[in-house]
């Protein structure tokens, strides 16, 4: 990928952009918290990749990423800047490929990855996250019932 140097004005502008606590992320956190869900924020979830999940449910091994439409090249809302359009296209496609590699590593380590676009309704996104958490709860409940059953069948002396 081609490299370019930003001028001071561009560098200052980019430094002001938030990496965490964005409005879509806060909206999702607010909905999940109101539903009684507790989670870690902006946490490293793997030693094999540098990615930090926006929300982490560590016991359930669910990592939630709230992706911005521009930086993660949303097919519905992405628009390329007119200046250096080819360079931006390569950069944004590389971001998508990087996200896919991170997802692959996390899934290989047993994580469920949920990607939410910034334009998604926070309630619907929270529903998707809760479905993953419910699946985990079913698995855990199923394991506990399988463990407890054989003990219940033992003869009483």
Cα(28)–Cα(122) distance, rounded to whole angstroms? 5
Cα(96)–Cα(113) distance, rounded to whole angstroms? 15
pLDDT the model gives residue 29: 97
Q: Could you tell me which of 103, 106, 102, 112 has the C-alpha nearest to residue 135?
A: 112
Answer yes or no: is pLDDT of 147 > 50: no
pLDDT the model gives residue 107: 97
pLDDT in tens, 36-75: 999 999 999 999 999 999 999 999 999 999 999 888 888 8
Kind and range of the H or E run holding 27: helix 23-34
pLDDT the model gives residue 154: 41
pLDDT the model gives residue 105: 97
pLDDT the model gives residue 152: 45
Answer yes or no: is pLDDT of 145 > 50: no
Work out the pLDDT band at 139, boundaries 50, 70, 90: confident
The share of the chain scoring above pLDDT 70, in percent, equals 79
């Amino acid at each position: 990928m081609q490299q370019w140097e930003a001028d001071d004005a561009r560098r200052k502008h980019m430094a002001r952009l938030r990496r965490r606590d964005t409005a879509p992320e806060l909206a999702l956190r607010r909905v999940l918290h109101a539903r009684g869900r507790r989670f870690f924020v902006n946490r490293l979830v793997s030693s094999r990749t540098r990615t930090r999940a926006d929300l982490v449910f560590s016991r359930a091994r669910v990592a939630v990423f709230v992706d911005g439409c521009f930086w993660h090249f949303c097919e519905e809302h992405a628009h390329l800047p007119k200046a250096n359009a080819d360079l931006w296209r390569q950069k944004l496609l590389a971001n998508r490929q990087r996200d896919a590699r991170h997802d692959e590593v996390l899934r290989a380590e047993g994580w469920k990855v949920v990607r939410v676009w910034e334009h998604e309704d926070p309630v619907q996104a929270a529903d998707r996250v809760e479905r993953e958490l419910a699946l985990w709860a079913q698995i855990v409940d199923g394991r506990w019932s399988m463990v407890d059953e054989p003990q219940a069948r033992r003869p009483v002396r």
